[in-house]
Amino acid sequence: MTPSNANRLDEAGHDYETVEVSNILRSEMFGPVGSRKYLEYVGDIHSASIHLLEVIDAILDLAKVEAGQDSLEEEVCNVANLIKDAMRLVGPSREDLSIEKSVVPQDVSVFGDHTKLVQIIANLLSNAAEASEPEQTIEIDATSDSDGALRISVADQGPGIQANVMQILFQPFRRSGDPYRKKIKGIGLGLVASQRLAELHVGRVTLESEPGAKEPSRHSYSQQNVNVC
């Protein structure tokens, strides 16, 4: 492992500790915090630590895929469980949003790497959350396309994306020039990482959006090898 990667992993370890400690303080596990103002500061620290962890994880994951060093530990993955695990990862980061899941049949499964498939879905959920205002709703569902491919879709109620902007969102570290989206956190790796992981599964990630449209923006992951067990 190179010194730079070792340093990043060491930094990630410190941030995991920060998240855990801030969680303990926020929940006042060992007794009340003396001042409410301290709780506000702890909340800020908690949010910043989670964001930094997401950045570090995205950079490391993308670096492994681009270097051809990432591999799949494939198994039969229950689609309903994949969605549930992804929602569990993303939910705490935006407690002011409602994530609604369509009923997914328990007998639908896909062949792939459980951890990486969850990460793809979680990235799509995170992207939708970043584009959403407080009290808005994100919808996630799983359906079968006309060609038989599994399609997991995440829809948000954000303002939509210009067609010329959509072309650059699948490029590393490229961010939109849209004034609204400049307020969104992140460094422009979520969709890129998801696309690379999808390609490992012989799948793809797509984005459908139109500014001011009645239909919500929709991030989707689709994969061919679907089974009904």
Q: What is the pLDDT of residues 76-96, one digit of tens each?
A: 999 999 999 998 888 766 677
Rounded Cα distance, 108 and 30, in Å: 43
Strand order in the sheet with 137-144: 98-101, 137-144, 150-156, 217-223, 203-208
DSSP 202: T
Separation of alpha carbons 179 and 189, rounded Å: 19
Supply the pLDDT for residue 92: 65
According to the model, what pLDDT value does residue 141 have? 92
Structure-token pair, residue 211:
């500014």
- Region 174-190: what's the mean pLDDT? 53
- Residue spans of the domains in the chain: they are 3-66, 74-228
Q: What pTM value is reported for the model?
A: 0.69
Q: Classify domain 74-228 by CATH number.
A: 3.30.565.10
pLDDT number for residue 140: 94
